Amino acid sequence: MKVRIKTELCQGHAMCWLACPDVFRLSDDDGHAYVTDETVPPQFEDSVEMAERSCPERAIEIS
C-alpha cells in the first residue's frame, strides 16, 4: 500500500494523525500533515485506510 497527501487540499484537520500517528505527522510550521515514507508498513494498512476515510478534505490518496 502506498499513501500520498494531496498538499493542495490538506488543511490540517489532523484526523489522519489521530488515526495513525505512526504514518502521518504534522508539520511544526503550519500543522498540515505529511508522510515520511509513502510505503505503508503492513501493520498500519487498516489505520491508514481509516485515515483516508476520516479526511474531510479528501486529501489522502491510497494506492
- Smallest distance, other proteins to C-beta of residue 54, A: 4
Counting every residue, how long is the chain?
63
**Which string of x and - marks every residue 22-61 that binds other proteins (by CB under 8 A)?**
----x-xxxx------------------x--xxxxxx---
Of 12, 25, 45, 62, the one binding other proteins (CB under 8 A) is 12
In sequence order, the 6+-apart residues with CB closer than 8 A to the CB of 6 are 59, 60, 61
Q: Please state, in angstroms and rounded to a whole number, the distance separating the CA atoms of residues 2 and 29.
A: 25
Question: Should residue 62 be labelled a site residue for other proteins when binding is judged by CB under 8 A?
Answer: no
Question: Should residue 4 be labelled a site residue for other proteins when binding is judged by CB under 8 A?
Answer: no
- Looking up cell 503492513 gives 42
